[in-house]
Amino acid sequence: MIVSRILMSGSLMLAGATAFSAVYLMVPDSSSTSGRRVILLDPNDGSVVNPLYIDLSLQTASTPKHALQVENEIWVSDQVVDSIFVYDLLGTYKRTITGQLDNIRGMGYANGTVYVSNDGASNGATADSIAMYDTAGNRLGHFLTAPATSPFAVFEHNGELLVTDSTEHTIRRYTYAGASLGVWHAGAIRFPQQIHRRTNGNLLVAGFSPPAGVYEYDPAGNYVATYASGAGARGAYELGDGGMLYSVSTGVFKIPAGGGAGTLVIGSNAQYIDKLVIPTIRGRVEHSDFEGDYTMVPVTIEIRPVGSTTPVLTKIVNLDNDRAFSFPASLVTGTYDMTAKSSHWLRKKVSSVVVNEDGTTGVAFILLNGDVDDDNEVSIGDYSQLSVAFGSEPGDPNWNPEADLNGDNAVDIGDFAILSQNFGEVGDE
């Protein structure tokens, strides 16, 4: 059936076809027994999603401390190897950042800058400092944490940086440029490590040394509560179900909503806990005027910055029986233009597609048929190729599957009708 030109030339936004993101929690494991790895956990209930999302041993990791998402990459700091291993969001290794780093611990990403806590002075590093990098891994300098002498974690809070220190046992405030703003908290906590913000705005701080546990503070740094007393916590994270995870040398443990004793989630030499957002691109494509098996027709999906014709991601997909596609992407959540193109159909673009964590935005494409020569327009060249193949079936010397526009295994008057209807149409750039 010939679909009307109004329908064919349009694009359709569908609530059921979504561009959304899958959210996980990352935990580096520095154990030589269970394997140096990055574990993925469910952010709602803390259950294990993937016990070996990244095999860090392939990069000769020794003591991976913090896995941090930086735009569309995962940066993993290694305290002993003095390196930062960089992966895409799907866990594929990309590069290693080295030099001027020694005894590094936690990291933070704020104001377009990656901040890395650095304790030692080997490898040309500056002791008791926070090293700064842009998102491409270029070093931007450093700032000193004095009088604190053993920085362990960096966390953005109210437009400032909070830095925990394991020797001074304080949490200090700094500007993004590194100017000291004084102490945020000093109290019973000893050897403070990772900081995490709860949904109520309070901060959880993992205290490693006695009186060890997870400490909660209000936004001004006033003490609120202690959890998992005596645990020797390195990291802590609030779950969606109201429970709490904390990491120690024997694994990741969960405290249920309402409190209580922690139960083991996964055995490991667990370090910091942080969020990972992997965009999952979902959509639908309708190949107009086609009677064949559309699940066997590849579709090229391009994701581009808004207003650009240069893709940041290209993926060839096949549709399911509902004409839908889905794939995870190493992509920053945000707003993009998205295009779809198949062999003898014109490219269609949908502008300003929002890729977010909520899964509320959908996109679908209706592709115009008739582009036999695959040059993204229906013109005399397509008539020429269809004419050569006219009257043919599979196996004939002049058979051209691209001229079989309606997918009925014959090049005949039906294909000419489709081409004639769409003659002069040009696909989107």
Strand partners, 341: 300
| CA–CA dist 268, 99 (Å, integer) | 29
Examine residue 269 and state whether it is found in any structural domain, yes or no: yes
Does 113 share its domain with 249?
yes
Q: What is the pLDDT of residues 322-344, one digit of tens each?
A: 999 989 999 998 999 999 999 99
CB of 92 within 8 A of CB of 105? no
Q: Residues of 85-111 as b/e, b for ≥16 C-beta within 10 angstroms? A: bbbebebeeeeebeebbbbbbbbbbee
Radius of gyration of the chain (CA): 27
- Given a cut of 80, whether residue 272 has pLDDT beyond it is yes
Hunting for tokens 């009088």 — which residue is that? 147
Q: Among 16-20, 36-40, 215-219, 306-310, whose mean pLDDT is lowest?
A: 16-20
Q: Specify which residues 264 forms β-bridges with.
A: 253
Residues 230 and 306 in one domain: no
Res. 21 pLDDT band, cuts 50 70 90: confident
**pLDDT band for position 16 (cuts 50, 70, 90):** very low
- Would you say residue 180 lies in a domain? yes
257 is a domain residue:
yes
pLDDT at position 261: 86
Last residue of a domain, one of 276, 297, 315: 276
What is the average pLDDT across 114-132?
98
Cβ distance 403 to 371 under 8 Å?
no
pLDDT, position 128: 98
Q: What is the pLDDT of residues 196-248, one digit of tens each?
A: 999 999 999 999 999 999 999 999 999 999 999 999 999 999 999 999 999 99
Given CA atoms 57, 59, 62, 66 in this order, what sign does their dihedral have? negative
Domain assignment of residue 250, yes or no = yes
pLDDT for 174 equals 98
Could you tell me which residues are beta bridge partners of residue 350? Answer: 338
d(CA 174, CA 201): 19
Q: Does 11 score more than 90 pLDDT?
A: no
Say if residue 78 is in the same domain as residue 173. yes
On whether both 265 and 282 belong to a single domain, the answer is no
Say if residue 3's pLDDT is above 50.
no
Three-class SS of the chain = CCCCHHHHCCEECCCCCEEEEEEEEEEEECCCCCCCEEEEECCCCCCEEEEEEEEHHHHCCCCEEEEEEECCEEEEEECCCCEEEEEECCCCEEEEECCCCCCEEEEEEECCEEEEEECCCHHHCCCCEEEEECCCCCEEEEEECCCCCCEEEEEEECCEEEEEECCCCEEEEECCCCCEEEEEEECCCEEEEEEEECCCCCEEEEEEECCCEEEEECCCCCEEEEECCCCCCCEEEECCCCCEEEEECCEEEEECCCCCCCEEEEECCECCCEEEEEEEEEEEEEECCCCCCHHHCCEEEEEEECCCCCCCEEEEECCCCCCEEEEECCCCCEEEEEEEECCCECCEEEEEEEEECCCCCECEEEECECCCCCCCECCHHHHHHHHHHCCCCCCCCCCCHHHCCCCCCCCCHHHHHHHHHHCCCECCC
Start-to-end CA distance of the chain, whole Å, equals 27
Amino acid letter at 381?
A: G
Average pLDDT over residues 71-75: 97
The answer on 409 and 303 residing in a single domain is yes
Residue 350's CATH number: 2.60.40.4130
Instruction: State which amino acid sits at residue 87.
Output: Y
Q: What domain range includes position 126?
A: 23-276
Judgement on whether residues 234 and 342 belong to the same structural domain of the protein: no
* Alpha-carbon span 302 to 304, nearest angstrom: 6
Q: What is the residue-averaged pLDDT of the chain? A: 93
Same domain assignment for residues 73 and 192: yes
- Whether the pLDDT of residue 6 is over 50: the answer is no
Q: How many domains does the chain have?
A: 2
pLDDT at 259: 82
pLDDT given at position 362: 65
Q: For residue 143, give both structure tokens.
A: 């700032």
Same domain for 344 and 415?
A: yes
List Cβ neighbours of 125 (8 Å cut-off, separation of 6 or more).
82, 100, 101, 102, 118, 131
Is residue 163 within 8 A of residue 145, CB to CB? The reply is yes
Q: Is residue 310 part of a domain?
A: yes
Q: Verify that 234 and 112 share a domain, yes or no.
A: yes
The answer on 283 and 225 residing in a single domain is no
Tokens 């931007």 -> residue: 140
Q: What is the CATH number of the domain that holds 189?
A: 2.120.10.30
Residue 56 pLDDT exceeds 70: yes
**Shared-domain flag, residues 145 and 266:** yes
- Domain end: 243, 276, 309, which one? 276
Q: Which of 89, 111, 109 is nearest to 276 (CA)?
A: 89
CA distance 28 to 63: 9
Spacing of C-alpha 311 from chain mean position: 17
> Quick one: pLDDT at residue 260?
83
pLDDT reading at 7 higher than 60: no
Establish if 85 belongs to a structural domain.
Answer: yes
Residue 59 lies in a domain: yes
Beta bridge partners of 195: 205
Residue 429 within a domain: no
Give the predicted TM-score (pTM) of the model.
0.90
Residue 13: pLDDT band with limits 50, 70, 90: very low
Q: How far apart are CA 319 and CA 287, in angstroms?
A: 11
Q: Which of 228, 247, 276 is the last residue of a domain?
A: 276
Share of the chain above pLDDT 70, in %: 94
| Per-residue pLDDT tens digits for 340-372 | 999 999 999 999 999 887 654 568 999 999 999
Mark whether 247 and 301 lie in a shared domain. Answer: no
Q: In which region does residue 192 sit, left (phi positive, over 0), alpha (psi from -120 to 50) or beta (all else)?
A: beta
Q: Between β-strands 48-55 and 37-41, what pairing exists: parallel, antiparallel or unpaired? A: antiparallel
